[in-house]
A and B are shown apart, each in its own frame.
Chain A
């Protein structure tokens, strides 16, 4: 019985991964293999880095049963602030980065205060910060693009880790990539073994071996595919490293810590959470403050990648991030969703965008397709739950 339950739970997670692979294969056929080229795989990561970072923060908001509409504007505002500090005021880049993070922190605290301590609905507060942030960005940039930013700034969004390239086939391959992929593989296998051992120690039922092996094989295949592709290109982008660290940390926080549990409990039933000793105001405050900081991180990455800050930067990012969470299985009512789901959701959106661009569909049509996919994913999710009930 226990095993059966585990299978059911995991299937939902895997369903998204399967959808991701299916969409990728579909565009592989449609684009004649273009989307699997090393350059394109690298672009996928670079283009979607900030969406993933925002989706991670947004998931926490979605878990509480709310959203943050202001993140796109905070992305623009923090990027603009950093750009102005380095270009106009000639301040060192690290100072500019800290200032950008401070902008995010302040806007996060601002939202958190109104939401948590004054009980203003998050939709309203973040709609206000969306307008205020955008307006301030236009004001401080005087409605003009600020650039170009120097390489000591742009490395965050466009740079790569050091590489050791050796000849391979027709080109070269980066040994660092291979090394990182190997270490990741070993860590994954070790953690799975540790997991099984803990279960055995406590006498819990374990998943059937074939399932565990299949899971590891699929994950390893994806990891090696990605790393092999980027190894034949320029190596590991800094964005990937940043993404990896953030996803790892937030996955840990949401799934293994008391703080994470409190967010789920609040989203599932705020009244019950309060009567269980959870300070729901504090949880709300930190969730929104955290979103502000992550929006600033995304703002730095975006301005670095574009080598400039524009007043229109980050327009509509909030919707991409929210969409990623929902596609990744989070419930609009709160209490349900995972970081990994949100990341997969972000990549599904990313692969769709990228694939449609490659086969020459206009951005107008792309929006239609994205809308359909979002609605379809959530509808399937809701209907499958209804059947179970």
Chain B
């Protein structure tokens, strides 16, 4: 069982000049469970998309050898024909179709030229479900009547129906609770016995060290090392070290002459429930504060609840049954709408600037003044377009937005410049508290540096800044104080002096462990 099913060598993939993968090598042995580890944005998902043909052959350089043959996959169908199936983090199920229909979606059981054979569909669906431990499931129930855990298993059943040889699971347990996760891991071990090879991407290191036979660590688009069970040390600490061990030199401009003053915003006992599910608590009793001139970080893994926390504070833009108190400058305030939040001098820049931050078809000027229009650029409801142009020109220069004019549409700008426009938009509302959600996501190193400088300037001018980031070095490099958030709770608070990536990771892991015990 030592032959190699998959070998990816010297894979390099660029996105408009930025290398997402840089000479990556990966060897997977047949019948093993191989884990891919790395921080958010390290390139794990990109690598798997290359393998499954989502990024077609020719759009990357390097070679894929699968079962000894060179693989040239132009689309997902090509790779599926060879038995490679990828299950994405976002489930690809059609919510109103039945379980059986979903199992054979795109792979319909036909009797004759496009006519569906329902008997075959149902009997084979039952077989597939049995393989993933769902033999008692009603195959005629619509899929949305099932929980996320079962849906995840049905995705695997769907893969089994395609005669899978190599199954790729991207963060399969991210949305699952512990019991469901455990079941999924057992199923994976079961599949392994049946001779199916698995590649699993996961942040949950305890799960990985439980199921994996080998672990490849990816960092900044490069393969760092591959750990093999029984040969190398296989502990969480060892994996974390591989994941984060990068040198940080001058990537974060230093903040000098910045005085930290009084508390500006204080949030107490904040609770939020999921907008569609009143039973599911997303934020549990979170309390925190920010001071003038202070940059506070919210660290944590994806789905920890940081964005949900920020948006629920920002005019109840997320969730329901929100409770807790917000004090601004020591006075309790009631913020019911975004307008209230703006009037109380809070600003929030979304992690998803294209969908939640900008009107892409509109120009730089109008995007910049969008949030401040009512309070600063109009009189009796009539816009003073001249003042607007002056302000836009000023901030274009201040933020160094690279565009030929303020009349250029923001959709045509690069990600970094779009982010600068978003920042300018909120600076124009003259806020005291700025919540920046993933302010450097998907932008190049140069623009990142400029954003960090802007954050420093904001802090120096006495504003309170909250930085939400999944990139731990960024949180460490920019923040005075860090709250580690995990599963909707504050798992710990670390000061600039004591914080390291290992400590943040440990904080999360320990908190996970504690939660698990509490749950049992």
Interface residues of A (CB under 8 A from B): 1-2, 5-6, 9, 198-199, 201-202, 204, 256-261, 264-265, 268-269, 271-279, 331, 335-336, 389
Contacts and interface: CB of A to CB of B under 8 A. Distances in A.
B407 A272 contact: no
A231 B337 CA distance: 55
A258 B378 CA distance: 7
Contacts, number: 93
B342 to A, nearest CB: 5
24 contacts: A5-B404, A5-B408, A201-B386, A202-B390, A256-B383, A257-B381, A257-B383, A258-B373, A258-B378, A258-B382, A261-B383, A265-B359, A265-B370, A268-B361, A269-B358, A271-B355, A272-B355, A272-B370, A274-B317, A277-B315, A277-B341, A331-B361, A335-B362, A389-B412
Most chain A CB neighbours (cut-off 10 Å) among B314, B355, B371: B371
A23 B77 CA distance: 51
B339 interface: yes
Given A202-B386, A261-B366, A335-B362, A275 B338 contact: yes
Contacts of A276: 338, 370-371, 425
Nearest to B355: A271
A130 to B, nearest CB: 29
Interface in B359-388: 359-362, 366, 370-371, 373-374, 378, 381-383, 385-386
A385 to B, nearest CB: 10
A257 B380 CA distance: 9
Contacts of A261: 366, 370, 373, 383
Nearest to A3: B405
Given A265-B370, A277-B338, A256 B385 contact: yes
B356 interface: yes
A277 B358 contact: no
A331 B362 CA distance: 13
A274 B390 CA distance: 25
Most chain A CB neighbours (cut-off 10 Å) among B314, B355, B382, B385: B382
A305 B408 CA distance: 46
Given A256-B383, A258-B373, A275 B317 contact: yes
Contacts of A2: 405, 407
B381 A275 contact: no
B348 interface: yes
B407 A5 contact: yes
A260 B362 CA distance: 14
B407 A277 contact: no
A277 B361 contact: no
A275 B378 CA distance: 19
Contacts of A275: 314, 317, 338, 348, 350, 356-357
B405 A277 contact: no
A102 B459 CA distance: 55
Given A258-B381, A272-B359, A277 B374 contact: yes
Contacts of A271: 355-356
Nearest to B407: A5
A259 B374 CA distance: 9
A84 B405 CA distance: 58
A9 to B, nearest CB: 7
Contacts of A336: 361
Nearest to B390: A202
B389 interface: yes
Given A275-B338, A277-B371, A277-B374, A335 B385 contact: no
Contacts of A5: 404-405, 407-408
B373 A198 contact: no
Given A256-B382, A257-B382, A261-B383, A272 B358 contact: yes
A36 to B, nearest CB: 38
A265 B361 CA distance: 10
A202 B406 CA distance: 15
A12 to B, nearest CB: 13
A279 B378 CA distance: 17
B401 to A, nearest CB: 14
A2 B364 CA distance: 13
A279 B383 contact: no
Contacts of A335: 359, 361-362
CB-based closest 3 A-B pairs: A268-B359, A276-B371, A277-B338
Contacts of A1: 404-405
Contact of B362 (A198, A201, A268): A268
Interface in B398-412: 404-405, 407-408, 412
A9 B362 CA distance: 13
A311 B370 CA distance: 45
Contacts of B408: 5
